[in-house]
Amino acid sequence: MAIDPVTAGINLVSKVIGKAADRFLPASMSESEREEFKLKAQELALKEMEAEAKALESVNATMREEAKSEHWMQWAWRPVVGLTFSAVIINNFILMPYLMKFGLEPIEIPGEIWSAMLVVLGVAAGTRGLEKWGRAKKQA
């Protein structure tokens, strides 16, 4: 029998909050105060989970729209930048300490290049957000 992931998440949150409340709340609290605290904590946790799900859906929608593009650079540039950043970090900070004696050298990327790439990513994210905001405003 398949369990709905949302229901499973809610049940897990309820169990964790219940156990934490039983363990850490003062013994002087009445049972009704404990139950009220648990309910409020569960509501707060569920609101946070809902906000995270909305943010994730927004990212997924952006990626789906980029993937539909006919221009390969429009959907490929972010993964390429991410892989490049990851490769530099892995090379310079993970592999190099172990493999320096075998001739591995650090990849030198000037700070100006890093800054420029961050500006490009920031502007791209900002303009994409403005486009989405404009479309949402038109639909409303």
Domain borders along the chain are 1-61
What percentage of the chain exceeds 90 in pLDDT?
Answer: 0
Residue pLDDT, tens place only, 2-30: 466 667 777 788 888 888 888 888 888 88
Dihedral sign from CA coordinates of 66, 67, 71, 77: positive
Picking from 88, 83, 81, 8, the residue whose alpha carbon sits closest to that of residue 49 is 8
Count CA atoms closer than 13 A to 135's CA, side-chain side.
7
| Under 8 Å between Cβ of 107 and 92 | yes
Determine the 3-state secondary structure of 103 from DSSP. Answer: coil
**pLDDT digit string (tens) for 66-84?**
667 677 776 677 778 778 8
Instruction: Report helix, strand or coil for 60.
Output: helix
